[in-house]
Structure 1
Amino acid sequence: MKRRIKKVAVIGSGIMGSGIACHFANIGAEVLLLDIVPNQLTESEQKKGLTLENNAVRNRIVNDNLVAALKSNPSPIYDKKFANRITTGNTTDDLAKIKDVDWIIEVVVERLDIKKAVYEQIEKYRKPGTLITSNTSGIPIHLMSEGRSEDFQEHFCGTHFFNPVRYLKLFEIIPGPKTKPEVLDFLNNYGEQFLGKTSVVAKDTPAFIGNRIGIYGIMSLFHLVKDMEMTIEEVDKLTGPVIGRPKSATFRTVDVVGLDTLVHVANGLYENCPNDEAHNLFQLPDFISKMMENKWLGSKTKQGFYKKVDKEILSLDLNTLEYRPQQKANFQTLEATKSIDKVIDRFKVLVKGKDKAGEFYRKSFAGLFAYVSNRIPEITDDLYKIDDAMKAGFGWEHGPFQVWDAVGVQAGLDMIKETGEQAAPWIEEMLASGNQSFYTVKDGSNYYYDIPSKSQKKIPGQDTFIILDNIRNNKKVWGNSETTLHDLGDGILNLEFHSKMNAIGGGVISGINKAIDIAENEYEGLVIGNQAANFSVGANLAMIFMMAVEQEYDELNFAIKSFQDTMMRVRYSAIPVIAAPHGMTLGGGCELTMHADKAVAAAETYIGLVEFGVGVIPGGGGSKEMALRASDQFKKNDVKLNILQEYFMTVGTAKVATSAYEAYDLGILQKGKDVIVVNKDRQIAEAKKHALLLAQAGYTPPVHRKDIQVLGKQALGAFLVGTDGMLAGKYISDHDRKIANKLAYVMAGGDLSEPTLVTEQYLLDMEREAFLSLCTEKKTLERIQYMLTKGKPLRN
């Protein structure tokens, strides 16, 4: 039977329930979100003379929770309009409506008796065959479905999302004793393809996979920090981006998640895992117990390991439990990794450090390596699932077994023995069998060490992915210092940037032109995409700054024209060019995306023309393109100025879309042309597919545009009046006005006396002239320098 999910019911509207509801709304599903009826009126409701029978009162809990979720930052929803896909109600009046849904997700309080009572009610209305899952993070799945019907149990399992649901990719699927294999297969595929998740089928063990390993990691650090007499700043310095972990590292992460949440899971593991060799590590250290007593739970109570007082952030001294000014953490070992760009290449250096940092890494990694080896086959049979869970659920760039491979399996085993830990016997057996690593790459696919067969097996589910790391060596067609051109097969190439932050400078421009040359002569199409954290942060600001400071205006003019010409080549080349933006896609990265034949954007794409922040206007065709797109929107009897003004404001306020869907609203992505993929892992494969489709349909380049309607003085005058008013009201600075007026001149097409049809080159020349003139301004140079040194915009 082909199963489709059109409508979902979410029972429980707390932080997780509302987050799950929002994410299903993100992907286009209709959602019924239910919660309990309040048992008493609020003071406000009493003053209004309402009763418990009033509909607004009965749905107050669910409505308040959903409103709070939609107001939260970061937002759980791609576009505020998508909230219309969610209908709210209560479990007393509206539970019968679940008969019409395809999937029921229970997200009520973590108490077995309450969950079982909810299931009893659900079974009265659920139609046979409907999926029923629980988002529990700790209660055994087999206990929940006891006493339910055969059909209920066959279609029941755990589906554990991680918070925040939109952003964390882990989707753990935990079968019950009678769950049908086809139900697991469906959920596994649905999670990957539609929810954009990393689906991991886990065993029904305490805390499943992600939290079992993640909580061990945090609790072991809580003990290690005391044993080694380290500060929380030192630990956060060592466990953050330097090893591919989030900026919040360890202690800041606990503050964000909530110490009480961590303690709840740790206590559960202490009680339910008596045979775990690390059992004692799940016992709370004294300083954690004291923090719990004091209700220092983190962000939710305004203090935890860190506390903000006025504008200063203080740190907790774990010895005195008093807050003090933050202390800078410096280690010689970290200095040795500064020249190593790839995180995976740093681990070998880190564990050899001679200072406290090196000792910390040896002890913490040895403990982690031993622990994960001993969890197989308890929590999973396959080591890659542990790595997948930690990357997708905790934001680690590399999982424990990948890090172990980077250190060296034998070297890691030696570390384990030196620190008094004990690895599982299968590690020695693996090395004895001739397998020297947990992972290998063959024919562009990842393989993992399978313990029972003592051989490397292909990781399933890769057929829909293209992993650039795996084809970089044997599929390389051409490259320079900032780009690499790969053959994706079927006549499609991929150009990957690897400049710092994927900034667009001379090397990238050269790479784009060379890629188009090669594609036009020998291939069918080109994808421009990468699998780094961000697509591109824009033009190489340092290069622009140096040219402007040294007043090399001819060279700067040539560089800008080269950028513009390259963008036009992307648009008018003889082969289809597909851009695959994701993450930060700013300035020049945005301009590149807008000039491609099609964008295949990841849902999590933060895209915008942000040049205003550094004192210039978009100079790589972005200003021209916004004027062109406004012109294409003009219809008979429209107030054309209003349409142009929307595009002008998008650029003038440096708006950045918080999702690819929001980029549709800003006119940066175009409905009907550009497409969005929820699972970023599928993006390059999807972009290749679209390039191939365009090529096979007999691709013909678009015709050079000579029909862009500009409004001239009519628009320019209105914009100049507007910027004067903004300055008078002190909303903008004098320099802001100058930049805005330059943009106005370009997007209006100059001071033409009447609306006129112009060419793209006409607008590009005006755009370049405006960009150059702003680069001669002292205040613009101050803005660029501030961005380069501080990483944030200056308002001057």
Structure 2
Amino acid sequence: METTFAEKEIKSKASTGKRTIKKVAVLGSGIMGSRIACHFANIGVEVLLLDMVPKELNAAESAKGLTLDNKNVRNRLVTDSFQNTLKSNPAPLYHKSFASRIKLGNFEDNMKEIVNYDWVMEVVVENLKIKKIIYDQVEQFRKPGTLVTSNTSGIPIHLMAEGRSEDFQKHFCGTHFFNPPRYLKLLEIIPTPKTNKSVVDFLMHYGDLYLGKTTVLAKDTPAFIANRVGVYSLMKTLQIVEDMGLTVEEVDKLTGPVVGRPKSGTFRLSDVVGLDTTINVSNNLYAGLSGDESKDGFQLPKMVQQMQERKWLGDKTGQGFYKKVKGADGQSEILSLDLKTFEYRPQQKSKFETLEATKSIENLKDRFAVLLAGKDKAGEFYRRSFLDIFQYVSNRIPEIADELYRIDAAVSAGFAWEMGPFETWDAIGVKKVVGLMEEAGKKPAAWVYEMLQNGFEFFYKVEAGQRQYYDIPSKSYKPIPGTQDFIILDNLRAANKKVWGNKGATLFDIGDGVLNLEFHSKMNTLGSEVVEGIIKSISVAEKDFAGLVIGNDGANFSAGANLAMLFMYAIEQEYDEIDFMIRQFQNTIMRVRYSSIPVVVAPHGMTLGGGCEMVMHADRVQAAAETYIGLVEVGVGLIPGGGGTKEMTLRVSDRIEAGDVELNALQNSFMNIAQAKVSTSAQEAFDMHILRRGDEITLNRNRLIADAKTAVLDLVEQGYTQPLPRKDIKVQGKTGLALFKTGVFGMLTGRYISEHDAKIANKIAYVMCGGDLSYPQLVSEQYLLDLEREAFLSLTGEKKTLERIQSILQGGKPLRN
């Protein structure tokens, strides 16, 4: 398993100043504790995960005749919690093997081991008395200088530090992760007045660089930043919904991707998280807040009170705002809760004129003004909810944060919003929003009026390619700390760093002789404009620059080829046009490999089909940790036609030795293509041989393009030389082809695959074996590319392939026919 390269990179950097983190102890193995332990294991850290010793035997232990002294019994709670976490979906680990980095134990037998650990993190139940008991034990065994932090979300940090030693208090603070910690990017750092500044600085940097987090410095105020604002926004939304009589479906449509929020919307997300969690946080805030003018916003609406009484808390109780049932035909159906009758009913489609008006507006920033101007119920909902949250956040400065950018960063990273409240306010226009507020009988905080009176009309601006925020005390703009190492393409756009562009791609000068090609087609598909952009960017780089990065700041790197264009040509039987398209795309991908300058590709998120093929032909790959990559063309009835099948064959040839090993290696790569396998992380892509020795992983997505630029400069420094096309790829010919055909026939007769699946699989095998050559021999890349293109072209003439493509284009769902 080739997983060591990214780990070496992480470990080589895993110290900041004089402090190094090699071992972390996590105290508490519940949902958060186990998942936090897994994320530390993801970055190569050794973890000790501890929990309580059971007070009595369970039935299974009694049946085996075990006693409470048995080690397995004493570790039962931590073992059960950890195993449940490993089974959870989405997976908490980048790679299953990383579980071996986590040692399990209990508070009584293993707490003494924390003397050897660099960081002790407490993640036990939200009870101050219990936490203090744990800290008594930590004080007994920790060595001076060891970091101690709490993942609490509801207990004031300073209360937990009371009565502790001076060294403990200097090295203690809150480190609040959001669940699931692998995927949600927020890490709030909450110091006490006695926490050493060097500790805070270390944690801010470590969370960013090594844990891949948006680290936000928060004050020790109720619910800190993200939950304070996010839960307020949710509760106010529920109150507005109740007042306006909106349906569950309407609200989820209004509060989903159209406003840059998760596609689950408000109610589906609440079901996933658990309504009890929201209720607990909201009740605690309502009871504990003083001096918050909008405290009543945390009162539970009647519908939430009813759901609490009925224990309809979401997925964990089997029903919430939605309920999954089996219909008369045995098929699963998801019903919606009628908020008026409190009965479940089939889901209803919702439609709003205001949303229809934004369908053609791709840029999120441009949508908000249209949404708030709507004359229907949607427009009213947006005005009420957005103006209220704008007023609320303006009044929370300096209570929960001294700087406005911290509120945006915390809410965006914690709740997966594309834009924070101040960013959204900026997109509509600060002055315009203040006018709308006043019309609605609301007013923002006094500092907003003062800002406007002093001639500052934006919360953010870009200066010399760096984003700056409005600093209230100094009444001036300042760079956002910690972002100086990021390369954000929107900032370069504002700074006029564009070198070239068309409708689907833009080329930027990112400094030090390096260019970056950005895609911005729909879903970053690889249509003619993007292909033109790749060719143009390499030509420009070869002439005047040192190297090229291909990367973007979109939600995903690339969804693959433009199927709509291919489908149109196939329906019209324009096979010459399709042949030209494939040749052009193959030539473009090969240009990525065989250029005179180094090309580094920086994938992230979904990187499928042609996007994966581009990655596989880079001189080096700098992948985001959360990269889901694979050759998925089989799903639309095709084979990888942009060099993917060829490249997989080449890589098998490079790593085989002799005999059966060759066929085994070839079969594994064949199955990855035939099953349209997609990696669940960049780390897993090493196993699939999509990423190779020398490719590297970036934990923090915001650093990806900057790291890719560094990789380009490293290649230049090493004396990059243009490689030569390969003519030494070993293929198996008829020997391998016969074995593959036998296997495919067995799968077909066993009804594991359809006839069309078998046809596609046989074409993949034909290419990967080099055709029906009479014996194993060496062939060229171009030979395999020609076979690949012919197979791809032949499948575009198949009716069942067209049906599969149509299914994806119309509904986004793969068709098995």
Same fold, judged at TM 0.5 (above): yes
Matched with 2:722 is 701
Q: Which runs of structure 2 are paired with 1:634-673 in the superposition (5 Å)?
A: 634-636=656-658, 639-670=661-692, 672-673=693-694
Residue 379, structure 1, aligned to residue 400, structure 2: yes
Aligned residues: 795
Query: What secondary structure does 1:496 align onto?
Result: strand
Residue 79, structure 1, aligned to residue 131, structure 2: no
Q: Which letter does structure 1 place at the counterpart of 2:810? A: T
Of 550, 572, 575, the match for 1:553 = 575
Query: What secondary structure does 2:100 align onto?
Result: helix
Q: Which runs of structure 2 are paired with 1:36-185 in the superposition (5 Å)?
A: 36-185=52-201
For residue 328 of structure 1, report the CA deviation from its aligned partner: 1.4
For residue 674 of structure 1, report the CA deviation from its aligned partner: 0.8
Matched with 1:749 is 770
1:295-328: per-residue Cα shift (whole Å, max 9, x none)? 1010001100111111221111222211122121
Query: What secondary structure does 1:489 align onto?
Result: coil
- TM-score with structure 1 setting the length: 0.99
Query: What secondary structure does 2:199 align onto?
Result: helix
Of 35, 48, 51, the match for 1:35 = 51
- In the alignment, the residues of structure 2 paired with residue 140 and residue 436 of structure 1 have an alpha-carbon distance, to the nearest angstrom, of 36
Residue 537, structure 1, aligned to residue 553, structure 2: no
Matched with 2:471 is 450
Q: Which letter does structure 1 place at the counterpart of 2:92? A: P
1:491-530: per-residue Cα shift (whole Å, max 9, x none)? 1000001111010011111110111111111111000000
Matched with 1:348 is 369
Matched with 2:4 is none
- In the alignment, the residues of structure 1 paired with residue 458 and residue 222 of structure 2 have an alpha-carbon distance, to the nearest angstrom, of 29
Query: What secondary structure does 1:486 align onto?
Result: strand
- In the alignment, the residues of structure 2 paired with residue 408 and residue 641 of structure 1 have an alpha-carbon distance, to the nearest angstrom, of 63
Matched with 1:690 is 711
For residue 275 of structure 1, report the CA deviation from its aligned partner: 2.3
- In the alignment, the residues of structure 2 paired with residue 225 and residue 599 of structure 1 have an alpha-carbon distance, to the nearest angstrom, of 47
Residue 189, structure 1, aligned to residue 205, structure 2: yes
Query: What secondary structure does 2:108 align onto?
Result: coil
- In the alignment, the residues of structure 2 paired with residue 518 and residue 638 of structure 1 have an alpha-carbon distance, to the nearest angstrom, of 46
Matched with 1:271 is 287
For residue 231 of structure 1, report the CA deviation from its aligned partner: 1.2
What percent of counterpart residues are identical? 65
Matched with 1:461 is 482
- In the alignment, the residues of structure 1 paired with residue 777 and residue 234 of structure 2 have an alpha-carbon distance, to the nearest angstrom, of 65
Matched with 1:285 is 301
Matched with 2:246 is 230
For residue 636 of structure 1, report the CA deviation from its aligned partner: 4.3
Matched with 2:502 is 480
Matched with 2:7 is none
1:198-249: per-residue Cα shift (whole Å, max 9, x none)? 0001000000000000000000011111111111211111111000000111
Query: What secondary structure does 2:235 align onto?
Result: helix
Matched with 1:298 is 314
1:336-372: per-residue Cα shift (whole Å, max 9, x none)? 1111001111001111111111111111111000000
Deviates more, 1:695-704 or 1:89-98: 695-704
Q: Which letter does structure 1 place at the counterpart of 2:421? A: P
For residue 638 of structure 1, report the CA deviation from its aligned partner: 5.5
Residue 601, structure 1, aligned to residue 623, structure 2: yes
- In the alignment, the residues of structure 1 paired with residue 290 and residue 503 of structure 2 have an alpha-carbon distance, to the nearest angstrom, of 54
Matched with 2:338 is 317
Matched with 2:8 is none
- In the alignment, the residues of structure 2 paired with residue 248 and residue 198 of structure 1 have an alpha-carbon distance, to the nearest angstrom, of 22
- In the alignment, the residues of structure 1 paired with residue 264 and residue 658 of structure 2 have an alpha-carbon distance, to the nearest angstrom, of 53
- In the alignment, the residues of structure 1 paired with residue 486 and residue 792 of structure 2 have an alpha-carbon distance, to the nearest angstrom, of 40
Of 457, 470, 484, the match for 1:436 = 457
Of 422, 426, 430, the match for 1:409 = 430
Q: Which letter does structure 1 place at the counterpart of 2:510? A: L
Deviates more, 1:305-314 or 1:605-614: 305-314
For residue 702 of structure 1, report the CA deviation from its aligned partner: 1.4
- In the alignment, the residues of structure 2 paired with residue 99 and residue 134 of structure 1 have an alpha-carbon distance, to the nearest angstrom, of 18
- In the alignment, the residues of structure 2 paired with residue 599 and residue 238 of structure 1 have an alpha-carbon distance, to the nearest angstrom, of 38
Q: Which letter does structure 1 place at the counterpart of 2:538? A: I
Residue 725, structure 1, aligned to residue 739, structure 2: no
Of 177, 202, 208, the match for 2:218 = 202
- In the alignment, the residues of structure 2 paired with residue 178 and residue 656 of structure 1 have an alpha-carbon distance, to the nearest angstrom, of 48
Of 33, 42, 49, the match for 1:26 = 42
Matched with 2:272 is 256
Query: What secondary structure does 2:297 align onto?
Result: helix
- In the alignment, the residues of structure 1 paired with residue 589 and residue 304 of structure 2 have an alpha-carbon distance, to the nearest angstrom, of 56
Query: What secondary structure does 1:463 align onto?
Result: coil
For residue 284 of structure 1, report the CA deviation from its aligned partner: 1.1
- In the alignment, the residues of structure 1 paired with residue 270 and residue 189 of structure 2 have an alpha-carbon distance, to the nearest angstrom, of 25
Deviates more, 1:50-59 or 1:150-159: 50-59
1:42-63: per-residue Cα shift (whole Å, max 9, x none)? 1111111111111111111111
For residue 422 of structure 1, report the CA deviation from its aligned partner: 3.0
- In the alignment, the residues of structure 1 paired with residue 431 and residue 703 of structure 2 have an alpha-carbon distance, to the nearest angstrom, of 34
Residue 526, structure 1, aligned to residue 562, structure 2: no
Runs of 4+ displaced beyond 4 Å: none
For residue 568 of structure 1, report the CA deviation from its aligned partner: 0.8
Query: What secondary structure does 1:289 align onto?
Result: helix
1:144-195: per-residue Cα shift (whole Å, max 9, x none)? 0100000000000000000000000000000012000000000000000000
Of 233, 236, 243, the match for 1:217 = 233
Q: Which letter does structure 1 place at the counterpart of 2:56? A: Q
- In the alignment, the residues of structure 2 paired with residue 421 and residue 120 of structure 1 have an alpha-carbon distance, to the nearest angstrom, of 49
Of 194, 216, 241, the match for 2:257 = 241
Q: Which letter does structure 2 place at the counterpart of 1:48? A: K
Matched with 1:575 is 597
- In the alignment, the residues of structure 2 paired with residue 326 and residue 541 of structure 1 have an alpha-carbon distance, to the nearest angstrom, of 31
Residue 775, structure 1, aligned to residue 791, structure 2: no
Deviates more, 1:279-288 or 1:558-567: 279-288
- In the alignment, the residues of structure 1 paired with residue 418 and residue 281 of structure 2 have an alpha-carbon distance, to the nearest angstrom, of 24
Deviates more, 1:652-661 or 1:636-645: 636-645
Matched with 2:779 is 758
For residue 759 of structure 1, report the CA deviation from its aligned partner: 0.3
Deviates more, 1:280-289 or 1:653-662: 280-289
Q: Which letter does structure 2 place at the counterpart of 1:313? A: I
- In the alignment, the residues of structure 2 paired with residue 346 and residue 12 of structure 1 have an alpha-carbon distance, to the nearest angstrom, of 44
Q: Which letter does structure 2 place at the counterpart of 1:334? A: L
1:560-608: per-residue Cα shift (whole Å, max 9, x none)? 0111111111101000000000000000000000001011000000000
Residue 629, structure 1, aligned to residue 651, structure 2: yes
Q: Which letter does structure 2 place at the counterpart of 1:498? A: H
Q: Which letter does structure 1 place at the counterpart of 2:134? A: V
- In the alignment, the residues of structure 2 paired with residue 105 and residue 283 of structure 1 have an alpha-carbon distance, to the nearest angstrom, of 33
Of 516, 538, 557, the match for 1:494 = 516
Gaps of 5+ in 1: none
- In the alignment, the residues of structure 2 paired with residue 275 and residue 223 of structure 1 have an alpha-carbon distance, to the nearest angstrom, of 21
- In the alignment, the residues of structure 1 paired with residue 309 and residue 294 of structure 2 have an alpha-carbon distance, to the nearest angstrom, of 25
- In the alignment, the residues of structure 2 paired with residue 550 and residue 409 of structure 1 have an alpha-carbon distance, to the nearest angstrom, of 51
Q: Which letter does structure 2 place at the counterpart of 1:450? A: D
1:61-105: per-residue Cα shift (whole Å, max 9, x none)? 111111111111100110001111000000010000100000000
Query: What secondary structure does 2:344 align onto?
Result: strand
Residue 338, structure 1, aligned to residue 359, structure 2: yes
Query: What secondary structure does 1:574 align onto?
Result: coil
For residue 553 of structure 1, report the CA deviation from its aligned partner: 0.7
